[in-house]
Amino acid sequence: MEQENKNQLLAAEAGLQILDLYHEEWENLEAWENAQAALVENIEQIHATDVVATTDYTGAARTKKTIRLETGAKANVICGPLKSFLLSIPDENQEATVHFSKSQLVSASQTTLSDRWTLIIQVAKKPDNAAFYTGGYGITSQMITSLQEGVDEFNLAVPKPKANKAIKAAANKDLKAEFKTLATVKATVLNLAQGKSLSNKTFYEALVSAFGISDTGTFNQNAVLTFRDFATNVILYKVKATFTKGSQSFVKYSTKSGKITIKGKEQGNWTVLIEAETYVSQNLTNVSFDPEKPILKMTIKLVKA
């Protein structure tokens, strides 16, 4: 896949994260749900088509979509009771880490879904939460194991076809068509978002920025930073990152998927101060936003204070 296409795909996935974050703005609105579902399926199809175009795979496999829907349903069955249990303890901080809606567990990018499902498993299996299985919530350890099996299958799933030369050529042609579809789907989402530009300006601007669209209608460059706990690898929510370059400065907070997406900032090297409650602060230097290079993707692990 060419770098330009990779950038467009990453921008689409960043926009999907914003839709996840602001899901209460559009859930139960048919046009929005159809557009969001189209975006998820288009992203999945691009990944699958790219694999066929570049790799030989043999053997049959269940479709990625089937596995996603089944595993998302399993996660949702566990997540609801888990949230209720954590609030009854009470542990609101822990509950906030798994406070996902059904759409957030069924429709998202592969990385986001895998992270969310895995987090539910990790929280449910914590020794301190052992009462979750004996408190009348209807959840068993076998259900957790089944969810883990679904996560593993989803992450390892590959397309069905054997990619000979003819199939690879067709896949490359299909890939071009999928990116045209991606542009159409994003345009549909942005048209819907126009209606939110006054009622929720923050959501609208975040979505436009995530899709990488500047005021002139061109794509911005971006970076995606992911924050995790060093010891447990659990994603971290509301990590504060202060970016500084000379006299310029801006602040971002990590989403519930542990990510910060940066769009449209001046190229060059930035200094980033990372702060989170109960964690040791970090200061990163020479964090580069360079439009001539691939999009910067970093995973940053924080140590408990």
Number of helices and strands in the chain (H, E) = 9, 7
Report the C-alpha gap between 108 and 100 in whole angstroms: 12
As beta bridge partners, residue 243 has: 250, 272
Report helix, strand and coil shares of the chain as percent, to nearest 5.
55, 15, 30
Per-residue pLDDT of the chain (305 residues; tens, 9 = 90+): 666 677 778 778 888 888 888 888 898 899 999 999 899 888 888 877 776 655 544 444 567 788 999 999 999 999 999 999 999 999 999 999 999 988 889 888 788 899 999 999 999 999 999 999 998 999 999 999 999 999 999 988 764 544 455 566 666 777 788 888 888 888 899 889 888 888 998 888 888 877 866 544 555 556 788 999 999 999 999 999 999 998 889 999 998 888 887 866 777 788 999 999 999 999 998 887 765 555 577 889 999 98
Domain(s) labelled CATH 2.60.40.1120 in the chain stretch across 221-305
What are the helix (H) ranges across 22-107?
Answer: 30-54, 64-88, 92-97, 102-106
**Residue in 117, 181, 120, 172 with CA at minimum distance from that of residue 150:** 117
Question: In CATH, which of 2.60.40.1120, 3.90.1150.10, 3.40.50.300, 3.30.930.10 is domain 221-305?
Answer: 2.60.40.1120
- The whole-angstrom separation of Cα 238 and Cα 93 is 11
Torsion of CA 207, 210, 214, 220, to 10 degrees: -170
- The rounded distance, in Å, linking the Cα atoms of 174 and 182 is 12
Q: How far is CA 147 from the centre of its chain?
A: 19
User: CB of 88 within 8 A of CB of 154?
Assistant: no
